[in-house]
A = this chain, B = another copy of it.
Amino acid sequence: MELLTLEDVYPHPTCAAVGSFDGLHRAHRYILSRCRTLGGNLLVVTFLPHPTRLKDLLFTPEEKLEALEEMGVEVVLTLRAEDKRLSAEEFMRVLQSHFQVKVLLMGYDHHFGRGRAGSPRWLLENYDQFPIELHVFPPMRYRGKVISSSLIRELLKEGRVEEANELLGYRYILSGKVIKGKGLGGKLGFPTANLSIPSLKLLPSDGVYAVYVQQVRRYGVLHVGPRPTLGLQRSVEVHILNFGGEIPERLKVSLVARLRDVKKFASVEDLRLQIERDIKLTNILFSDGLPPIEETSGRLQSAQRSL
């Protein structure tokens, strides 16, 4: 029997995935991994920055590009807000004529083009005009929950980072420049680095989180909370455990588990005792290294019990 390779039919299939890809969660990654198996070039078409949303984004534009790069995406076609004027027909013509797109992947509910006229259904209704290999993806579930950027945002806003991470397929990341803080933690014996996070990036709800600090490969305790001196702006401070080195200019922190709510303390000593407790809990949680994402909730519960 003769063997047929993809090249026989499609010399260089360019595969385009179209979507917002905020957070590049499990379902997004699944779609991109599908592209990968097709053996062609992978083009991602996405708005950058997000055309309407100005806050609560899971990704800054830089983070989105970095994540796509890590997934092996060859080309990103970035659409800007003014590109919303492009009609669905014009959009398809750009993909087919300019990029020689042979396979188009999109979520069942994705819309594109002026007035959101384009959709998978629209494509099949206009198939004579745009005959293309079309892969349509249904809502995907993980442990019964439909994976979506909106649900992940909701979970993070409620502080449920362990569940958000399960849907993301990785641990939610906060990254930013290290800025000078008030140095209060340092006086207590727990020096912290304050992170400057872009305002469009979603912060998890106020609270204390066990984290992994990527550049220095250390665990840490992160505090997200109100900073009275800055009005509504919230501060993000991380204390890196067992670290005596120079703190890098930028930090990238993976949120692993939520340890507790923020609270007011009657005395500095009460605060110091609580921080010691947070550190102890974090050390127990990480005693066997970073837990697998799916086991984090369980490990946290047993760590809390053993404290």
Chain A contact residues, CB within 8 Å of chain B: 1-2, 4-6, 8-10, 26-27, 29-30, 33-34, 37-39, 70, 108, 120-121, 124-125, 127, 131-140, 142, 169-171, 293
By the criterion CB–CB under 8 Å, are A138 and B131 in contact?
yes
User: What are some 6 contacts across the A-B interface (CB < 8 A)?
Assistant: A4-B26, A6-B33, A9-B142, A133-B135, A133-B137, A134-B134
CB neighbours of A134 from chain B (8 A): 134-136
By the criterion CB–CB under 8 Å, are B29 and A140 in contact?
no
By the criterion CB–CB under 8 Å, are B108 and A124 in contact?
yes
Shortest Cβ distance from residue A106 to the other chain B in the assembled complex, whole angstroms: 11
By the criterion CB–CB under 8 Å, are A8 and B121 in contact?
no
By the criterion CB–CB under 8 Å, are B133 and A138 in contact?
yes
CB neighbours of A27 from chain B (8 A): 9
By the criterion CB–CB under 8 Å, are A170 and B6 in contact?
no
CB neighbours of A135 from chain B (8 A): 133-136
Expressed in whole angstroms, the Cα–Cα distance for A268 and B14 within the complex equals 60
CB neighbours of A120 from chain B (8 A): 124
Expressed in whole angstroms, the Cα–Cα distance for A38 and B38 within the complex equals 9
Expressed in whole angstroms, the Cα–Cα distance for A293 and B34 within the complex equals 31
In the complex, residue of chain B having the shortest beta-carbon distance to the beta carbon of A105: B135
Expressed in whole angstroms, the Cα–Cα distance for A226 and B29 within the complex equals 60
CB neighbours of A1 from chain B (8 A): 70, 170
Shortest Cβ distance from residue A8 to the other chain B in the assembled complex, whole angstroms: 7
CB neighbours of A121 from chain B (8 A): 121, 124-125, 127
In the complex, residue of chain B having the shortest beta-carbon distance to the beta carbon of A130: B138
Expressed in whole angstroms, the Cα–Cα distance for A207 and B171 within the complex equals 69
Expressed in whole angstroms, the Cα–Cα distance for A134 and B136 within the complex equals 5
By the criterion CB–CB under 8 Å, are A30 and B2 in contact?
no
By the criterion CB–CB under 8 Å, are B127 and A132 in contact?
no
**Option from B6, B26, B37, B171 in Cβ contact (under 8 Å) with A8:** B26
Expressed in whole angstroms, the Cα–Cα distance for A299 and B33 within the complex equals 42
In the complex, residue of chain B having the shortest beta-carbon distance to the beta carbon of A66: B1
Query: When A and B form their complex, which 9 residue pairs have the shortest distance between CB atoms, in order from nearest?
Result: A131-B138, A37-B37, A121-B124, A2-B170, A134-B136, A4-B29, A9-B30, A135-B135, A1-B70
